């Protein structure tokens, strides 16, 4: 199988990830923070070490806090639903947001009388229109600004630094979704002005499913509690702890998944991963655009990495994905990719979404050439 669905979850993982998880699952799978005995303390130490590696990866100091959750979706729920929003507040979203953000904001709007405003794009380029966004901010001041770093549909690298800089002129809370970028693009928490950086362990970090979380900047107002449960300390108190991360870590920690993430973080080479995916993204776009009847939805290469969406005239996206899988053992993703806004801009409704290629450091030019040859055969171009 040629696996090209890495935007959903990277596969395979480094061998060290599998080994670490097997070892911990067999020998160290204990409840961290729930016991004073030695192996429980060792589990706590592993969690602390993994959090330190996360902070180092984003160049954050020890005054920032890492919160582990079972997934980035849960992390984004804790953040967005935890922000102190009042009636009349404005939430700004980019048209590239995943439903892990979009649906959570919609849920908040059903509970409170807040306004959800979508940032505009430049006609014909699909890029965020910074100047129009600035104007919108003057008319409807932002309280919460959510921005994905890299689109999971088009691979567009969004201008997050610029957006957050203008957001901070209005003291807005800023949330960065790094599901498609952390581990590929260098992120400096001290420079990007993101109050909360949400991450997924199982995507571009090459860790396992079952662990995600967020990094909270220092001196932030506490989020409202949205989920509660056992923390292993102060158990007679029915209130969640005031301290972070305990305030937001409400259940037994997935120590096996964290062990896998720890091993993955030891191998992360952001600069190398960026070069590999950048070159392969460029090559993929070049190859696909030469195939007759193939429509590629790609931003300029300077603002593009890792993800390529396309369609084939005369076919719906699902049919292309099915044939690639059944006849050529090539795994791609098809449909709307849990990102409802951007598909309206791409105008891909008649294809029922797009065919999506998600690249990883384990893909190569041979994979892309095989895909291109398969597409040519499918549409009768040999």
Q: Can you read off the two tokens belonging to residue 132?
A: 């129009």
Nearest-10 Cα torsion for 75, 77, 83, 85: 170
Tokens coding 180:
């498609």
Task: Return mean pLDDT, the chain.
Answer: 95
When pLDDT is averaged across residues 107-114 and rounded to a whole number, the result is 95
Question: Nearest to residue 305, comparing CAs of 86, 148, 106, 90?
Answer: 148
- For 222, other C-beta atoms within 10 Å of its C-beta total 13
Express each pLDDT in 289-330 by its tens digit: 999 999 999 999 999 999 999 999 999 999 999 999 999 999
Q: Is the pTM of this model over 0.85?
A: yes
Confidence band, pLDDT 50/70/90 cuts, at residue 382: low
Tens of pLDDT along 96-108?
999 999 999 999 9
Determine what percent of the chain is predicted with pLDDT higher than 70. Answer: 98
Please name each of the domains of the chain with its CATH number.
2-10+269-378 (3.90.1150.10), 15-267 (3.40.640.10)
With bands split at pLDDT 50, 70 and 90, how would you rate the model's confidence at 124? confident
Structure tokens that stand for 72 in this block: 């980035």
């Amino acid at each position: 199988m040629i696996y090209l669905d890495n935007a959903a979850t990277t596969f395979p993982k480094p061998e060290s990830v599998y080994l670490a998880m097997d070892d911990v699952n067999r020998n160290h799978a204990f409840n961290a923070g729930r016991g004073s005995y030695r192996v429980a303390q060792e589990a706590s130490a592993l969690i602390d070490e993994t959090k330190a590696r996360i902070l180092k990866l984003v160049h954050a100091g020890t005054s920032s806090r890492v919160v582990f959750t079972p997934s980035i979706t849960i992390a984004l729920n804790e953040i967005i639903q935890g922000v102190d929003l009042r009636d009349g507040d404005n939430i700004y979203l980019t048209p590239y947001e995943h439903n892990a953000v979009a649906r959570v904001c919609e849920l908040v709007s059903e509970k409170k009388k807040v306004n959800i405003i979508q940032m505009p794009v430049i006609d014909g380029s699909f890029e965020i229109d910074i100047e129009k966004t600035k104007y919108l901010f003057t008319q409807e001041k932002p309280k919460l600004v959510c921005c994905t770093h890299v689109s999971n549909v088009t691979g567009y690298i969004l201008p997050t630094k610029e957006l957050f800089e203008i957001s901070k002129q209005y003291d807005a809370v800023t949330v960065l979704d790094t599901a498609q970028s952390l581990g590929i693009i260098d992120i400096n928490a001290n420079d990007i002005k993101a109050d909360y950086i949400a991450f997924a362990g199982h995507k571009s970090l090459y860790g396992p499913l079952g662990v995600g979380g967020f990094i909270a900047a220092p001196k932030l107002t506490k989020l409202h509690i949205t989920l509660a449960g056992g923390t292993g300390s102060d158990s007679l108190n029915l209130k969640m702890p005031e301290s972070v991360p305990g305030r937001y870590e409400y259940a037994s920690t997935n120590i096996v998944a964290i062990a896998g993430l720890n091993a993955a973080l030891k191998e992360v080479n952001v600069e190398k991963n960026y070069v590999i995916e950048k070159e392969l993204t460029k090559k993929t776009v070049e190859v696909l655009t030469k195939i007759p009847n193939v429509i590629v939805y790609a931003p300029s290469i300077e603002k593009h990495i890792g993800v390529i969406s396309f369609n084939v005239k005369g076919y719906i996206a699902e049919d292309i994905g099915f044939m690639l899988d059944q006849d050529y053992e090539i795994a791609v993703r098809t449909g709307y990719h849990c990102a409802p806004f951007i598909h309206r801009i791409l105008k891909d409704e008649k294809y029922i979404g797009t065919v999506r290629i998600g690249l990883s450091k384990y893909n190569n030019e041979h994979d892309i050439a095989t895909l291109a040859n398969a597409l040519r055969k499918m549409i009768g171009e040999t």
